[in-house]
Structure 1
């Protein structure tokens, strides 16, 4: 799911440069847009990397290594995706609201992302570690 989502987001980000509204961006907006596109490209690469790694190393009896590297790439990709979403939100909300309000909203949304993507899984993982062995 994350692979498809990041690809769609990246496609939309790329299309913004070809709209008439792109010419009206402030220097801050242009810099933020460039950063957002670069983060989107990096997150796309990191989230698709496990597929390429699996494809290249399939049949070489490297399952443990592939799983470890794929897990790290996915974690990296999720961080980059969260940053891409944050920058996208800031870019859009700064156009609609004043920048301080936009920053507060983006920080709030990123706290929610952190809770959903990191805090909840880590709590569940910790809980699983405390269960008695079967």
Structure 2
């Protein structure tokens, strides 16, 4: 069946999978940069002198980055493993959920990292303020604005 776009269902699914994988490339660059930064921090002398709280926040940021990596790369792995099974529609549905969860983890990882840097450089008040500001920016730009765009598109 040809839809109003002139594409068949199979063509649309193929295009949607391709678009999803392209979007993942953009998000994955941010994850890789953050992960690299977080990994190098533990090998500095200053890190060994960090408080237990700071080390726990750092580990939290690392674990959120790992979760983000897993969730953002899963759809590519699924596509590679399942592309010949005719499950494109299911891969897209589950993949979309995985990407959204991965983006949420990425936002939390970046927010946690910013908060940790603020804590080390300026103290706990700066940690709280910059952590909240970072979180609000992510929520607004990644989740609220798209809802408003979608609502205005009708």
Aligned-partner Cα distance in 1 for 2:61–2:101: 16
Three-state SS of the structure 2 residue aligned to 1:49 is helix
The aligned residue for residue 7 of structure 2 is none
Q: Do structure 1's residue 11 and structure 2's residue 32 form an aligned pair?
A: no
Matched pairs, number:
129
CA shift, 1:127, in A, is 2.1
Three-state SS of the structure 2 residue aligned to 1:102 is helix
The aligned residue for residue 76 of structure 2 is 51
TM-score (norm: length of structure 2)? 0.80
The aligned residue for residue 149 of structure 2 is 124
Three-state SS of the structure 1 residue aligned to 2:94 is helix
The two structures, once aligned, show a CA RMSD in angstroms of 1.0
Residues 37-94 of structure 1: per-residue CA shift (max 9 Å, x gap):
1111111111111110111110111111010011001000001001101110111110
Q: Larger Cα Rg: Structure 1 or Structure 2? A: 2
The aligned residue for residue 61 of structure 1 is 86
Q: Do structure 1's residue 76 and structure 2's residue 97 form an aligned pair?
A: no
Aligned-partner Cα distance in 1 for 2:38–2:139: 23
Aligned-partner Cα distance in 2 for 1:112–1:52: 30
- Structure 2, unmatched stretches of 5+, are 1-25
CA shift, 1:101, in A, is 2.2
The aligned residue for residue 119 of structure 2 is 94
The aligned residue for residue 49 of structure 2 is 24
- Structure 1, unmatched stretches of 5+, are none
Aligned-partner Cα distance in 1 for 2:30–2:134: 17
Structure 1 stretches (4+) deviating beyond 6 angstroms? none
The aligned residue for residue 4 of structure 2 is none
Question: 2:114–2:134: 8 Å Cα contact kept in structure 1?
Answer: no
